[in-house]
Amino acid sequence: MEPFLNRTALLLGDETMERLANTSVIIFGVGGVGSWCAESLVRSGICHLTIVDADTVSITNVNRQAMATANTVGLVKVEAMKQRLLEINPHAEINAIQEIFSADTADRFGLQDYDYVVDAIDSLKDKLELILCCTHKTSDGPVFFSSMGAALKVDPTQVRVSEFWEVDGCPLAAMLRRRMRRQKRFPERRFKCVWSPEVLPNLGHPEEPEPDAIIRKAQINGTTAHITAIFGFTLAGLILTTVSSS
């Protein structure tokens, strides 16, 4: 066990630390939520982590994404994140994939090879595909956790965890459910989400997209570092508590 994990081991015990070291996780989306989830997992003892994102670091990412700094603007997000994670634990196995998860690419990721899948995708269409892929009833594959919308929020006390169909007040969850009903395609297994019912208005001027940015969201909304980080840390915490209790 790495020496930097001593305090974690003091709390969780050696047996749990061994399970964490042997647990494999894949995170889709390495933005404001996914980047902090990845960092928390590696700082907690996860050694086998795959991160998936097709985008590059933008100056507008610096306000909330773990790997985004003035020095990483323009770099591939997953590569910048991988470098940061290896600076935390040089012995971790970090697989960085610069690609979009979609219905066309789903088979490339080998989801059955992982213990946990984390959804931190912004795109509604691709998010729906990942949810349906990971919650097929006949699947005995990985445990699945999902982040709902983390934008337009500032109150940390409203962040919570619920089963997907019990999420009430989140516009992203509502849009997903409407699309599921329209397409008559539904999750066949229950799964937990991190979400908040808070929805604030944008008070500033709309952001102009970067010329080379991959824009797959219907709208760009304001975000804050502490909320996106809390979402990411909570997803990591769900994995830790599940591993600890297994």
Please report the pLDDT score of residue 216 as a whole number: 55
Return contacts of 73-78, CB within 8 angstroms, 24+ apart. Answer: 77/30, 77/31, 77/35, 77/53, 78/30, 78/51, 78/52, 78/53
Give per-residue pLDDT as tens, 175-219: 999 999 999 999 999 999 999 999 999 998 766 655 555 555 556
- Kindly state the tokens that stand for 105: 């690419």
User: pTM value?
Assistant: 0.94
pLDDT by residue (tens digit) across 81-107?
A: 999 999 999 999 999 999 999 999 999
- Starting at the edge strand that comes first in sequence, how are the strands of the sheet with 93-97 ordered? 93-97, 48-52, 24-28, 116-119, 143-147, 192-195, 160-163
Structure confidence at residue 140 (pLDDT): 74
pLDDT(62) > 70: yes
Q: Where are the alpha helices (DSSP H) in the chain?
A: 6-12, 14-21, 34-43, 77-88, 124-134, 171-183, 225-245
37-41, 165-169, 213-217: which has the minimum mean pLDDT?
213-217
CB 147 within 8 A of CB 120: yes
**Mean pLDDT for the stretch of residues 137-157:** 91
- For residue 1, the model assigns a pLDDT of 84
pLDDT grade for 137, boundaries at 50, 70 and 90: confident
Q: Which of 188, 196, 187, 200 is nearest to 127 (CA)?
A: 187
Q: How many helices (H) and strands (E) does the chain have?
A: 7, 7
Q: Which of 73, 76, 71, 18 is nearest to 47 (CA)?
A: 18
CA atoms within 13 A on the CB side of 165: 7
